[in-house]
Structure formats: structure tokens, C-alpha cells
Amino acid sequence: MFLDVKRLEINRIDEEIINLIISRNLISDEIIKFKIDNDFGVYDKNRELSIINNLKSKFKDSIDPLLIEELYSKILFYSKKEHIDIIKNSKLGQIVKDKPFLIAGPCSVESEEQIHKIASDLAKFGIKYLRGGAFKPRTSPNTFQGLGNIGIKYLSDAAHSNDMKVVTEVMSANQLKENYKYIDIIQIGSKNMFSYQLIKDIAEINKTNNKPIILKRNFNATLKELIYASEYLRNENQSNIILCLRGIRTFEQIESRLRFTPDLASIVELRKLTDLPIIFDPSHSSGDAEFVLELSKGALAMGVDGLIIETHYNPSESIVDAKQTISYTVLKKIFLFIEQIRLGIE
């Protein structure tokens, strides 16, 4: 008897809650429509934060603030879900639309045909940033060193004819000078994170255009050393710096199949040390294609701003880093995961 009565009461309250949410959504729809008609930005992150914070402080003694936070992020998400396309096209939407962003492509540019095929394949999936090395910092000087200048030209033609941006590594100031106009995002590789003169030279060449620069963590570098390396760029007025975590060397490599130890926890720590965007490279971090999907999801869950991933239409055919190169099937899964995060805009 007692239970029946109480359950009925609970059912009635639940219905009341749902009815209140419906009424709330109707008002929120009216507001969104008003904003659209009057050309206001539709999405106001500060307003959302203030709603949640006010409720949290008002009811902090009677209800767990975490419940309010979770409940309201869901309520707010669903109230704007139907308007997501409009939000995406709004000014703020433009900024968050590409975040997290995905840079993908082969480890190295192998031929004109190879890079053109990969560029058009990836563009069809909706990927906007094409990676590919033309100057490869190979551990052994007796292996393929990349196609050099002509490789960058192929890469640039392939990317730009598919409306994509070029991401590529240079290992010397001359390489950058000669190829500057073909490159959209300059990569400073892991092995060169400690090459301070090169870093300064790159900043000098890039000083008027301020193109984005990806600075990869050396696999033996502390996070502080990574930050210091980025300050070499900052001190030369570079403001488009992106830090990239790409695995570090630990005792794990003695036995594990991992090429490096994925430095996922560093994402959290680095966030506290810098306001620069942080991306993660699951390919070099693990050195094994089988790890790339899970590592990508992990890094995204930990809040990276982007990923840089090696892929090829036939991974085993890759001249460099075949083992860690993922198929399009896996790449699509990662891209889908990213799209879901983007839709969540929060």
C-alpha cells in the first residue's frame, strides 16, 4: 500500500518534470526563432554556463551540483539539437565547426598518383587537412628519404585541387623557403623539437604570414621542454602554434609491441600548462594500426583539439610506416566519432 502510493506520487512528479521540459523547450524554440529573425548569434555559451552555475549555487544545499550540471547539459543540448545546422553556420559555429579537426594522409608522399588518389578519397569523406611527408627524418640514412621538393609540389596540387590544406614537415630553413607557398601548415617534427636554430629560422621565414605551425613533442622531451620550444616560436611573434603529442620513449618499449608509449595523460597536464591548441598523433604514438582507433577515441575524450593520423588506400603498400597506417574503414570510424563530438557543440 505504502509503496503503491509513493510510486504513484513519483509517476505524477515524473510526468510533471517532462511537461515542464516540454514547456521549457517551447520557450527556447521561440527564443531561437527570434534570434534567427533578428540576426543574433543563436548559440550563447556564456548564457548556458550562467544558467547552470546559478542553479548550482542556488540549490547547492539540497541537490548534488553534479546532477544539475549533467541534467542541464542534456536539456540544453536537446533544446538546440534541431537547430544545429543554423548554429554551425553562425559565427561561433564557424569557429567550433572544425574542432576537433582531423589531419590525415600517408606518412610520405610516394608518387603523384598516390597522393592525388588519397587526397580525393579523403576529401570525399569530408577531411580538410592533408598530411604527407616529402622530407622524411628517417632514422636510417639508407632508407627512402622522401621525394623532396617535387613531393611537396605533388602534395600541394593534390590538396588544393580538392579544397584541402597542406600539412607537411620541413627539416631545414631552405626547404621551407623553397616550398613556402605550397605549405599551409608547417610541421616541426619530433626529432627537431630541440633544434632551436631551425625553430627560430622557421619563425623568421613565417613572420609575415603567420601560418600555423605544428610543433611535435620530442619522444624524450618533458612537457616543460615542449613548452620552452614553443616559446622560441612565441618570442618571434608566432601566434598560430599547435602542440602535438606523439608518444614518448619509456621502458615499455623493451617488451611491448608499442613503438612509443602513447602520452595520453600529458593531454590533461599540458592543458594546465598552456593555452595553445593540442593535437594527438595516435599513429606514431603506438606504431601499430590496431591501436589507432582506440587511442583516437581516448585522446578525443581527453579533450584534444585535433588528431593527425597516417592512412593509405592500401596500408601495407606504404613505403614508410606501413605497420601504423590505418585503412579507410578505420579512418571513417574515427571521422564519425569526431562528427558526433562536433554535433555536441558544448
One residue of 80, 165, 246, 312 binding ligand PEP per CB under 6 A: 246
Residue 263 contacts which entry, ligand PEP, Mn ion, none (Cβ below 5-8 A, type-dependent): none
Name the minimum Å distance from CB 330 to Mn ion.
16
Nearer to ligand PEP, 42 or 215 (CB): 215
CB of 68 to ligand PEP, least distance (A): 42
And the C-alpha cell for 296? Answer: 583516437
Asked if 259 interacts with ligand PEP (CB under 6 A), we say no
Closer residue to Mn ion (CB): 36 or 322: 322
Shortest Cβ distance from residue 132 to ligand PEP (Å)?
Answer: 8
Q: Given CA atoms 302, 59, 48, 20 in this order, what sign does their dihedral have?
A: positive
All three cell numbers of 294, joined, read 582506440
Q: End-to-end distance of the chain based on CA atoms, in angstroms?
A: 45
- The DSSP code sequence of 269-326 is HHHHH--S-EEE-HHHHHS-HHHHHHHHHHHHHTT-SEEEEEB-SSGGG-SS-GGGPB
Choose which of 68, 104, 169, 201 interacts with ligand PEP (CB under 6 A). 169
- Site residues for ligand PEP, 213-242, by CB under 6 A, read 216
By CB atoms closer than 10 A (0-12, 13-18, 19+), residue 5 is exposed
Q: Is 28 helix (H, G, I), strand (E, B) or coil?
A: helix
> Burial level of 91, CB count in 10 A (0-12/13-18/19+)?
exposed
Q: Of all residues in this chain, which one has the CB nearest to Mn ion in the complex?
A: 107
The answer to whether 190 contacts ligand PEP (rule: CB under 6 A) is yes
> Does position 189 bind ligand PEP by CB under 6 A?
yes
Of 28 and 172, the one with the shorter C-beta distance to ligand PEP is 172
3-class state of residue 211 by DSSP? coil
Q: What is the binding site for ligand PEP (CB under 6 A)?
A: 107, 133, 137, 169, 189-191, 216, 246, 281, 284
